[in-house]
Amino acid sequence: MAKKIMENQNSQAAGALDPEMRALGMIETRGLVACIEAADAMAKAANIALTQRRAIGGGYMTIMVRGDVGAVRTALEAGAKAAKLVGEVESVKMLPNTNLMVEDLLPEIIV
């Protein structure tokens, strides 16, 4: 997986995103503990890459993941279920094939 992430970062630097990493998944929670629980469950459930954890304000946190559509869907289901056990899940969303213009707004994959 680390090799795949490194290859993806190299292709991002060249302006292209690996087609297998095009899906973007997001879970928004209320509170850090639920966010961390979601991230842990997602990482364990599927072959995805964590891209960013973002504090929105008012206690809301968003965790973003990248991967292929099936892996992101599986990760989101596991992450939302785990986060609901310890806190509040505000929203869950998957963008299966993000537009290339949107790619500039999205964070790079964390190694």
pTM (2 d.p.): 0.75
Give the model's pLDDT for residue 41.
96
Looking at per-residue pLDDT, the higher value among 49 and 13 belongs to 49
pLDDT score for 109: 59
What pLDDT is attached to residue 8?
46
Residue 9 has pLDDT above 90, yes or no: no
Q: What is the pLDDT of residue 3?
A: 45
Residues near 33 by beta carbon (within 8 Å), at least 6 away in sequence: 86, 87
Q: What is the mean pLDDT of residues 62-89?
A: 95
Alpha carbon distance 29, 107 (integer Å):
19
Report DSSP state, residue 94.
E
